[in-house]
Amino acid sequence: MRYRRVAATGGLYPRVVALLGSFLLLSLVPFLPRDELSSALDLLSILLMLSGSILATVVLLYLGRSFSISPEARRLMVTGPYRLVRHHPLYATEMIRMVGFVIQFARCELA
């Protein structure tokens, strides 16, 4: 059972944006062109994506019943990763994973 909601954003727009932000990129992955990388960059990319995913799982475990895809406030978290990163550690872990993703799929032509 989840904690009681303290505040929430109303309307359809925040829900649609939250769902698209969560799942749109995953649905596009099969259609993205992948660059041929050196083994070092390939390993770095995989490690960043893996570590970002593992850290996101840890953050979600701390959130527990307070997690929601749509913007809602359930309770103030002050333990675990939330003790160290005041804003939202889940965003930080997603950024780590996205850096690895960009290394894999970004087309950079250096002259």
Look up the domain containing 94 and give its range. Answer: 7-105
Q: In this predicted structure, what is the pLDDT of residue 17?
A: 75
In a domain, 23, yes or no: yes
In a domain, 110, yes or no: no
3-state secondary structure of 39: helix
In a domain, 73, yes or no: yes
In a domain, 1, yes or no: no
Ordered per-residue pLDDT tens for the chain, 111 residues:
556 666 566 777 777 777 777 677 777 776 777 767 788 888 998 999 999 999 989 988 887 777 666 656 666 677 777 777 767 788 888 889 888 888 887 765 543
In a domain, 2, yes or no: no
Q: Say how far apart CA 40 and CA 38 lie, in whole Å.
A: 5
3-state secondary structure of 79: coil
98 exposed, middle or buried (CB, 10 Å; 0-12, 13-18, 19+)? middle
Domain count along the chain: 1
**15 is written with which tokens?**
């829900």
Q: In this predicted structure, what is the pLDDT of residue 54?
A: 93
